[in-house]
Amino acid sequence: MIYEIGRVRVWYNPPDVYFEIIDDCRRLETSIEALDEMPYLLKVLIEQQLLEFEVFLKRLNERHKELDSWYHELEQKIEEYKMKGWRPMCEGVKKKQQKTVEKIKEVEEMIQFVSDFKGSLERILNDLNRFIEIVEKVRKEVIV
């Protein structure tokens, strides 16, 4: 089975994993040994994804602060309009405030999901590092 990810094709033909990169008219192809080299590639990919999640979480937290600030501004406007007796305008602002609450909940849900997923990847990375260490020890013992 061939998997296509953008311009990259990946397939497995034991004991190797093949990669083909298609760039306009050129095709670059390489392979790595599934058991010996693939864990190192996975380690690099997971580490890179963890860095991306850090940046993404930072942006999500900034967005959460913006929405929270906007919510409080709308709350102040509602109080101001109530004091002035502007009921129709107050209702419009309440609708905006409700939409803001929904957006805040969405961002909070995304922050929680990405944090949990990041934690899962960190655990996988720890297991992968342990696997790499064990394989290297076994190779040294077998070779010596």
pLDDT at 94: 95
Listed in sequence order, the DSSP H helices in the chain are 38-84, 87-143
Domain boundaries, the chain: 2-33, 38-143
Mean pLDDT taken over the chain: 94
d(CA 37, CA 40): 6
Predicted confidence band at 12 (pLDDT cuts at 50, 70, 90)? very high
Residue 55 pLDDT class (50, 70, 90 cuts) = very high
Cis before 39? omega within 30: no
Residue 88's pLDDT band (cuts 50, 70, 90): confident
Whole-angstrom Cα distance, residue 57 to residue 51? 10
Which pLDDT does position 68 carry in this prediction? Answer: 98
Over residues 97-122, the mean pLDDT reads 98
Q: Where does the pLDDT of residue 144 fall: very low under 50, low under 70, confident under 90, or very high at 90 and above?
A: low
Res 18: pLDDT: 95
